[in-house]
Structure 1
Amino acid sequence: MPYYIGDVIKEEKRLIARTPEKFRETGIDVKLNTSAEGVDADKGIVKLSDGTVIPYDTLILGTGSSAFIPKIPGVELEGVFSLKKLDDAINIKKFIHNNNCRKAIIVGAGFIGMEMSEALRMRGIDTAVIDLLPRPAIRWDPEFSKVILEELTRQNVIFSGDTGMVSIEQGKNFRLRMNTTKGEMEADMILIAIGIRPNVKIANDLGLQIGRSGAIQVDYSQRTSKEGVYAVGDCCEVYHRVSHRWVHIPLGDVANKQGRVAGRNIGGGTMLFPGVVGAQSFKLFSLEVAATGLDESEAISCGYFPVSAMIWGNAFSRMLPGEKRLGVKLVADRASRKLLGAQAVGTTGAVSRINTLSLALWNGMVLDEIAYADLAYSPPVGASWDPIHIAAQELMRQL
């Protein structure tokens, strides 16, 4: 959706994977602008907002998640947005066009905040990002966050860390004024991107078990604690193969896979969702930023004894002219030598390295295997000793 707002994607219809008409062609009824108001499990019916009911034999909850909006004065004002649904993206793009926006404030320096900072700058909008935490993309190592901050600065995005919202009101020189813990800021629009919450109201009404993460508890088949009720997507938990815990990772690719697993099982087949390793990435102007698995603090909380190493290398062979600087960080368990997590930042090659390391995590590989893994070599795209090899060997020296 940030790429639609930034006008890289011109038409909203390109964001729609399948239209209602396509669903209906395959015998799937779609009710638009209609919400599920409640479920009567004893009668096996779903009560809809239009006053009708739908009977069911098996129920799938795909209630998703909602943007978290803090309860502060002014969040209801025109020009204050969150970005979670397609309608949000359409409304933001329309607002920018109709109001000749010149200045924006983004609250939150996570994935959405970073991607939206690029989208707004691409529209020529002066952009500032504030966050309660001291640095952007706090999930990444401080040295990588520094690179991210340098990229924001290079692209004329102002970042203010250790800064919280207090209130929003009508502005003087611009439409809105935000009062923060560090003073006042004005802008034509404000985007609040400080996280999401799973939608579990119907699950609670049904008496379903809710996991420690606050999302619906499911098993590997996507079944909930109630017979005949499944849950998929942002509203439910997923098994993490490295932490060995059920966690909440609200990503579109995870939801897609969970939906297929649930559908296969309901249709009479047998399929288990094997879990995730937490692979994630975003693009920020010229940077690829990616991570997978656990960081040191997460590893400690899971009972591991983490040790880490970071290297800076080149995304391709040094024989070729030019340099594509690439940083790779690995985290491993001192006792078992197993890889626990990885991070990468660079103008190219970061995502491909993290995808490779995600497979290493998936298969429980140890550093000794990763350090000599057989990876494709060609000077334009990679060196004979890849940054993955070098990082693994550097980490082995610490064991």
Structure 2
Amino acid sequence: MTERLVVIGGDAAGMSAASQARKRRASSDLSIVAFERGQHVSYSACGIPYLVAGDVTDPDHLVARHPAQFVALDIDVRLSSEVVGISDGFVTVRSPDGEYREPFDQLVIATGGVPARPNVPGALSVGIHGVQTLEDGIRLLGYLDRHAPKRAVVVGGGYIGLEMAEAMIRHGLDVTLVDAADQPMRTLDPDMAGLIADALRREGVTLRLGERLEGFASHAGRVTAVHTTGGEIPADIVILGLGTRPNSDLAKAAGIAIGETGGIRTDRRMRTSRDGVWAAGDCVETFHLVSQRPVAIALGTHANKQGRAVGINIGGGYATFPGVVGTAVSKLCDTEVARTGLSTAEAEAAGFRPYSVVTESTTRAGYFPGARKIKTKIIAERTTGRLLGAQIVGEEGAAKRIDALAVALWHGMTVEEMTSLDLSYAPPFAPVWDPVLIAARKAAEALGSFS
């Protein structure tokens, strides 16, 4: 008898799960239907700011697989179809043709994240945009083309805020960035975040830090200003970058266990508390391998890996998702930023006694054309020298060095052990002492002063 798999959500996690399951089980053994409430599946949400900025010239370039390609794999993809309920063996689907029930034997919940929308006056004014989905990006581009705004306000100074500030700069707009915190990039230590604030100012962005959003003014339904605790900011367009929370409401309503972060709780194989129901992507809670605490981190890398594990398991194999260390990169024009592991504040909150060192170097040999500045911060445990986290701010060639630090972190290395890492060297790529090694060496030297 053919088993039936239903997937809720047609992006990274959901379609990875569907594809991996199909690789391992033929359609005669497993039928697969995937429901997506939007108009696109299997696309790069992380590419949306670069579509808006103009680096990506066609929305179609962000789509990894179109629905027709899944049809060729015998995966039934249904667009504009939102799952609004889960019961024993059935999901309730709302589509343009009406509401109906679809049976399942196994279910994958990949409902993603819910963007934070401010509950303030004027929040529904025309010209206020989020950038979570590909449709959002296309609508934003259309608004820029139709209305030719001159003044943009970006609300939120995280990764999306940074990337969308650059996109607005590229369109020639006057840009103001508002954040309730006293620094952009709250996941960085204040000294490293200060470098990002400096970079924003160098690019002509007006920073309004430590100001809470209070509302929006509009005329004829279209946004004209942003009101904060610091006063009024004129705006022709507003971009929201206030972060997301796990979209776990559907699972919660079905009685599936939710973790303390608000994400769906799963085991290492991505199984939920209900038999035959799996979950993956931004809607789930995962495990931080350094803090040893549950976290909810919305990243496409995690979603793809988790979805792959789900598909392998449904397909009869065995796969796990062990957790995360929180590695992320971004950029603002010529300034690159990266982080992995814990910040100093996060390390202290997790019960560690951290210390840190900051080193300055260049991305290539100093004499080689194109050498750029890079500042590297290492956070380590005071008693053992174990690496707890790292942050990088620099120019071209800086950010991806975080990967070496992420691998060291994953394997629980100490800063002393890191000084012997056999990293590559040639003048066009690095100084003879790579910035990662310089930082590790300085951290190891500093450790000796605590004994």
| TM-score with structure 2 setting the length | 0.85
Does the 8 A contact of 1:338 with 1:367 survive in 2? yes
Q: Are positions 1:286 and 2:331 aligned together?
A: no
Instruction: Judge which range, 264-273 or 389-398, deviates more.
Output: 389-398
Does the 8 A contact of 2:128 with 2:223 survive in 1? no
Residue in structure 1 matched with residue 235 of structure 2 by the alignment = 187
Taking the aligned partners of 1:171 and 1:51, their CA distance within structure 2 comes to 38
Matching residue within 60, 63, 72 for 1:16? 63
- How big is the shift at 1:51? 1.6
Residue in structure 1 matched with residue 105 of structure 2 by the alignment = 57
Residue in structure 2 matched with residue 99 of structure 1 by the alignment = 147
Taking the aligned partners of 2:398 and 2:101, their CA distance within structure 1 comes to 49
Matching residue within 303, 321, 325 for 2:351? 303
Percent sequence identity over aligned pairs: 37
Q: Are positions 1:146 and 2:194 aligned together?
A: yes
The residue correspondences of 1:44-193 to structure 2 (distance < 5 A) are: 44-49=89-94, 50-170=98-218, 175-193=223-241
2:350 is matched by which residue type in structure 1? C
**Alignment gaps of 5+ in structure 1:** none
- How big is the shift at 1:371? 1.3
Alignment size in residue pairs: 396
Taking the aligned partners of 2:188 and 2:242, their CA distance within structure 1 comes to 17
Residue in structure 1 matched with residue 392 of structure 2 by the alignment = 344
Does the 8 A contact of 1:287 with 1:346 survive in 2? yes
Matching residue within 243, 247, 260 for 2:308? 260
Does the 8 A contact of 1:175 with 1:186 survive in 2? no
Taking the aligned partners of 1:154 and 1:300, their CA distance within structure 2 comes to 32
Taking the aligned partners of 2:230 and 2:177, their CA distance within structure 1 comes to 13
CA deviations 1:88-132 (Å, max 9, x no partner) are: 111111001001111111100100000000001101111110000
1:197 is matched by which residue type in structure 2? R
Taking the aligned partners of 2:167 and 2:99, their CA distance within structure 1 comes to 41
- How big is the shift at 1:143? 2.5
CA deviations 1:278-334 (Å, max 9, x no partner) are: 110101100110000011111122222111111111112224356411100001112
Change (3 A) 1:216 1:322: closer
Residue in structure 2 matched with residue 2 of structure 1 by the alignment = 49
Residue in structure 2 matched with residue 385 of structure 1 by the alignment = 433
- How big is the shift at 1:246? 2.2
Does the 8 A contact of 2:189 with 2:344 survive in 1? no
SS of residue paired to 2:307: helix
- How big is the shift at 1:175? 4.7
Residue in structure 2 matched with residue 26 of structure 1 by the alignment = 73
Matching residue within 237, 261, 269 for 1:213? 261
Residue in structure 1 matched with residue 443 of structure 2 by the alignment = 395
1:240 is matched by which residue type in structure 2? H
- How big is the shift at 1:138? 2.3
| Aligned-CA RMSD value | 1.4
Change (3 A) 1:99 1:27: same
1:333 is matched by which residue type in structure 2? E
**Alignment gaps of 5+ in structure 2:** 1-47
Does the 8 A contact of 1:104 with 1:190 survive in 2? yes
Taking the aligned partners of 1:308 and 1:69, their CA distance within structure 2 comes to 36
Does the 8 A contact of 1:171 with 1:177 survive in 2? no
- How big is the shift at 1:152? 1.3
Taking the aligned partners of 2:239 and 2:345, their CA distance within structure 1 comes to 30
Change (3 A) 1:229 1:104: same
Change (3 A) 1:150 1:36: same
2:332 is matched by which residue type in structure 1? L
Does the 8 A contact of 2:109 with 2:277 survive in 1? yes
- How big is the shift at 1:351? 2.0
Taking the aligned partners of 2:366 and 2:227, their CA distance within structure 1 comes to 50
Does the 8 A contact of 1:288 with 1:348 survive in 2? yes
- How big is the shift at 1:171? 5.0
| TM-score with structure 1 setting the length | 0.96
Change (3 A) 1:187 1:367: same
Taking the aligned partners of 1:185 and 1:319, their CA distance within structure 2 comes to 45
- How big is the shift at 1:350? 2.2
Residue in structure 2 matched with residue 36 of structure 1 by the alignment = 83
CA deviations 1:125-151 (Å, max 9, x no partner) are: 111100001121122232322221222
SS of residue paired to 1:397: helix
Runs of 4+ in 1 over 4 A off after TM superposition: none
SS of residue paired to 1:148: helix
Q: Are positions 1:251 and 2:251 aligned together?
A: no
1:345 is matched by which residue type in structure 2? V
Matching residue within 359, 380, 405 for 1:332? 380
- How big is the shift at 1:335? 2.1
SS of residue paired to 1:51: strand
SS of residue paired to 1:112: helix
Taking the aligned partners of 2:370 and 2:243, their CA distance within structure 1 comes to 39
Instruction: Judge which range, 267-276 or 104-113, deviates more.
Output: 267-276
1:294 is matched by which residue type in structure 2? L
Does the 8 A contact of 1:208 with 1:224 survive in 2? yes
Matching residue within 308, 319, 323 for 1:271? 319
